[in-house]
Amino acid sequence: MERMLTLFLLCPALFFTTVTSQRDNVCLRPNLADTIEMAGLQRYFNPGVELALSCIDGYTPVLGPRKIVCTVSGEWTKTRFLCTPKRCPYPDPLSNGELYYEDTIYQSTINYTCNEGYVLTGSSTSVCQANGTWSTLVPECTPVTCDLAPIPQFGMIIYDTTVRGNITYYGTTGMYKCHLPYALIGNPRAECTASGTWTKTPECKVVTCRPPHNIARGYMSTTDQRDFDFMETVKYGCTGDFVLEGSQEIVCQQDGNWSEKPSCKAPCEVSINRGRILYKGRRIWIKDFEPNKVLHKEIVSVYCKNAARKCGYAVPTQCIDGRLQIPECFKEPSYADYNFHSSSLPSEITQC
C-alpha cells in the first residue's frame, strides 16, 4: 500500500520537472540524516518554501538554524543542524552484583547480574528510553537464604554471627560441637551455601579407646583395664634416671586411638678415664664425677688442645638416649702425663 502511494506521487512529479525545469528552479527534497525530521512529504519544493527541522524521538537538536529555505537558484540554505541521542543518567552500582553496559545513550542496555549466593529481584535488563530515563529501576541482589542449620543428635552448633528468627543467609557459618563423651565425626565447620542448603552435618558418636599400655622404663597414672571415653587422659612418668620425651599426657582421640605416647630415654656415662670435664658450669676431674652419669639431653664438655696455638678449649657433646659421643679431638692423656704433668693437660693450660 505504501509503495503504491509512493509510485503514484513520484510519476506525475517526474513528468512535472522535465516540463517545468526550464522555466523555474525548484528544490529537490533535501537529503537529511535519519535522525532529522521535517515537515512535508513532497519531492519538489518551490523557491521561497521554508522547511522546519526537528529530531526524531530519543534525539536532541544541537546547532542550527532549525529552518532551511528553498532559494531561487533551486538550492536549500545551509544549516549545521544535528540530532544527538539523548543520554540517560549513569546507573548506580549494584551491591553484591555487577552491571554491564557499553553506553548510556538512547536505546543502550544495561545487564544486571548478582554475585554467587545472591538472587536478583527486579529486572535483569534496563533500556535507555526516548525521554532519557531508564526503563526499569535498579534491581536488588538479595542473599540466598537457608533454614537454621540441622543439629546432630547429642550435638549443637555455635554460629559465628548472631542468627535471628528462623532463617540464615548465604555465607553464615558456624561450628558444630558434640556433648561429651560423644566425639564429632565429620566436618565440624558449617556453612549456608549458595544453593540454600547447609554443608553436610557431622555426627556425634560414642568413641572409646582400648586400655592404654605402659611404656618401657615408665609408669602410668592408672592401672584400670577398662575402655576409656573420648577425651579421657592418662599420664606417664619414667623410672630412675630415665627422662620422659614427648607429651606427659595422652588423650583418647575421636578416631578411637590414643594420642602419641611419650618414651623414656636412658642416661649416659662419660666414657673417659683420664681428664677433666665441664658439666653444669663446673670443671670436674673424671675420677671425682660420682656417679658417672648425665641425663638424656644434658650437655657435657671435654677438653681438646689446639697444638698450633698451644691452648686448650672445651668441646660440648650431648647425651642422646644412653649414647654420649666423645669428640674426636679429645686425646686421652697417658698415665704419666695425667699423674705427674697434669698442668700440661688441655684443661689446665691457657684457654684459647
Ligand X SMILES: *[C@@H]1O[C@H](CO)[C@@H](O)[C@H](O)[C@H]1NC(C)=O
Q: Which residues bind ligand X (CB under 6 A)?
A: 100-102, 109, 111, 129, 131, 133, 165-166, 255, 257
Nearer to ligand X, 30 or 181 (CB): 181
Nearer to ligand X, 12 or 165 (CB): 165
**Residue 100: CB atoms within 10 Å:** 10
Distance CA 126, CA 110 (A): 5
Nearer to ligand X, 77 or 133 (CB): 133
Nearer to ligand X, 102 or 290 (CB): 102
Backbone angles phi, psi at 230, to 5 degrees: -50, 130
**Residues with Cβ < 8 Å from 132, sequence gap 6 or more?**
86, 87, 88, 89, 106
Q: What is the DSSP letter of 123?
A: -
Q: Which three cell numbers stand for residue 239?
A: 623410672
CB of 129 to ligand X, least distance (A): 5
CB of 100 to ligand X, least distance (A): 4
CB of 175 to ligand X, least distance (A): 22
Nearest residue to 38 via CA among 47, 46, 29 = 29
CB of 55 to ligand X, least distance (A): 16
Helices (H), the chain: 2-20, 335-340
Nearer to ligand X, 47 or 211 (CB): 211
Q: Which letter, b or e, does each residue of 161-189 get, where b requires 16 or more Cβ atoms within 10 Å of its Cβ?
A: eebeeeebbbbbebebbbeebbbbeeeee
Would you call 175 helix, strand, or coil by DSSP? Answer: strand
Nearest residue to 267 via CA among 301, 239, 247 = 239
Are 152 and 204 in contact by the 8 Å Cβ rule? The answer is yes
Tell how far CA 22 is from the center of its chain.
Answer: 84
CA torsion sign for 40, 44, 45, 46 is negative
CB of 71 to ligand X, least distance (A): 40
Nearer to ligand X, 249 or 255 (CB): 255
CB of 234 to ligand X, least distance (A): 16
Nearer to ligand X, 45 or 258 (CB): 258
CB of 138 to ligand X, least distance (A): 16
Residue 277, burial from CB neighbour count under 10 angstroms (0-12, 13-18, 19+):
buried
CB of 35 to ligand X, least distance (A): 18
